Structure 1
Amino acid sequence: MSPTIRTRLKENALSLAQDRTVADVRIGLGYTAVQLDNGQTGVACTFHKDAKGGCTVFQGLRPLKGTPAAKVLTMLDATDPIASAVAIATSNALTNTPSPDMTTGDILENITLYPDDHVGMVGFFAPVIPKLKERTGRLDIFEKQDRGPGTLPADAARDILPSCQVAVITSTSIINHTVDDLLNACTNCREVIMLGASTPLLPTVFARTPVTVLSGIIVTQPENILQIVSEGGGMQLFKKNIHKVNCRVQK
């Protein structure tokens, strides 16, 4: 059996952790942010509605501040969604540096779409939906929450993605442990994009998978991001404090 995406992510992130330690953690209602002792900062989506433990929603390692990043990354083995978010935000902090292999801008500026493409979108990415509908033949959106007409239950993705030419998959699927099954359904797709602020910018993690593009963020104003996360903010408020970046996964 092939290693899971989370296992690969843990192995790759641990190789980068070295002697880095956690300087600050913010577990907000929308996102979780982790800042390392060198100032690098990463974020990941907070599944606060799935949290357990009453008013103590995080029941993992304590204290997080001052803990080696390598130890925090062990929570990539956790089933708890809050612990997973902290671990993935830590991994994203370790990779929060621009690379020559990255291109900037929105994902739709960095891929080729055709008028007869059938696109499957896992997660509701409102800003790109109108453009996808305009540029392609069919768009199916799979979402756990009912977003009204035009969205399908999340479970339908596994049946419909095999017939799609393009798949856009939320990287929160790594946090909730659904990513491996989703990628198994994408083997026929021409393009498979992991999208969102939670996206690990580690192409080697996704080698030998159907993923073709990683579309995530580089945090450029870490102190602002920490404050926004603490105040329950998300991508709409992140905009001036990040760069959207995309990198191809080499096959």
Structure 2
Amino acid sequence: MKCVIDELYESVLRKVDGQRIARVAIGAGYTYVELDDGGAGVAYTNKEGGISRGLAGRMERMPVEEALTYLLSGRGLEVSFGLATANALVNRPRAELRERDALLESELSPSDVVVLVGYFPTYINRLKEKVKEVYVLEIMEVASKDVEVYPWWAYARLFSKATRLYITGTTISNHTINYILPSSVEIENKYIIGPSTPMIEDPFISYNVKGLSGSLVTNKEACFKIAMQGGGVKDMFKVGCLKKVFLPLEKSTT
């Protein structure tokens, strides 16, 4: 039986057109991949599991078809490389993309119960005065006086009462999306957010995801240097080499 990561891999693979990897930076915070056709992408660096013997030093000039197979790896650094490659391939300017955030206060209701998969302090601050309840699922231990934080494996308990769901794209890097998405199909207002998010309709639309909030690299040299020197997306957004974009997803009625 295919999982979400398998479906994502197959979807992105169909976009490949002979590209090769031009350069790679697997930094302490984020991984950066640039392709020989000029595309570039970033992904959260999952440090749970290192690089297989023989892979380091041969990523450059690797065919993108091969690089994408690392999305399926059981090693965190390799998945980060595969996901950044996917984002370099599909996170590119196109007419459907909007320069906005996934969270719009105008869409919220006082009766909403919101679950954040991932700890997003800015979202928590924007939500807590406008909705009934806010909960967080997080893979790391987080102490917060503003919101109840649960371990990620408590998803079934919280999803049963959620009306809105915001899922970090980092769930792709650590493969927890394989559990999160199939368990949340019935939640109508569901979004995948963060710079690691691939801006591609399939397979997310089949799980009733309403929108993707990801990133586009606008200055390759600056993003590459920040990743190389251990920086993260806050640094990238600050210098303006990365920008937020939103892709609304709508199922065809035909």
TM-score normalised by structure 1 residue count = 0.92
Once residues 158 and 82 of structure 1 are traced to their aligned partners in structure 2, the CA distance between those partners, rounded to angstroms, is: 28
Runs in 1 of length 4+ with deviation above 6 angstroms?
Answer: none
Contact 1:110 1:246 in 2 (8 A): no
Give the letter for the 1:225 counterpart: C
- SS of 2:95's partner is coil
- Aligned residue in 2 for 1:241: 241
Q: Are residues 206 and 111 of structure 1, via their aligned partners in 2, closer, same or farther at CA, if it must alter by over 3 Å? A: farther
Question: What is the aligned-residue RMSD (CA, Å)?
Answer: 1.7
Q: How does 1:144-223 map to 2 (within 5 A)?
A: 144-149=139-144, 150-223=148-221
Structure 2: where are the runs of 5+ without partners?
Answer: none
Farther off after superposition, 177-186 or 82-91: 177-186
Q: Are residues 110 and 4 of structure 1, via their aligned partners in 2, closer, same or farther at CA, if it must alter by over 3 Å? A: farther
Q: Are residues 236 and 87 of structure 1, via their aligned partners in 2, closer, same or farther at CA, if it must alter by over 3 Å? A: same
Q: How does 1:58-97 map to 2 (within 5 A)?
A: 59=53, 61-62=55-56, 63-97=58-92
Q: Are residues 59 and 209 of structure 1, via their aligned partners in 2, closer, same or farther at CA, if it must alter by over 3 Å? A: farther
Q: How does 1:103-142 map to 2 (within 5 A)?
A: 103-109=98-104, 112-142=107-137
Q: How far did 1:72 drift?
A: 0.6
Q: How far did 1:59 drift?
A: 4.1
- Aligned residue in 2 for 1:23: 22
- Aligned residue in 2 for 1:8: 7
TM-score normalised by structure 2 residue count = 0.91
Contact 2:42 2:195 in 1 (8 A): yes
Give the letter for the 2:248 counterpart: R
Match 2:230 to one of 219, 229, 232: 232
CA deviation vs aligned residue, 1:118-142 (integer Å, no higher than 9, x gap): 0011111122210011221110011
Q: How far did 1:114 drift?
A: 1.0
Farther off after superposition, 155-164 or 25-34: 155-164
Q: How far did 1:174 drift?
A: 1.4
CA deviation vs aligned residue, 1:171-203 (integer Å, no higher than 9, x gap): 111121211211122123121111111101001
Farther off after superposition, 179-188 or 124-133: 179-188
- Counterpart check, 1:101 vs 2:120: no
Contact 1:72 1:87 in 2 (8 A): yes
Structure 1: where are the runs of 5+ without partners?
Answer: none
Once residues 106 and 74 of structure 2 are traced to their aligned partners in structure 1, the CA distance between those partners, rounded to angstroms, is: 33
Contact 2:30 2:233 in 1 (8 A): no
Give the letter for the 1:241 counterpart: C
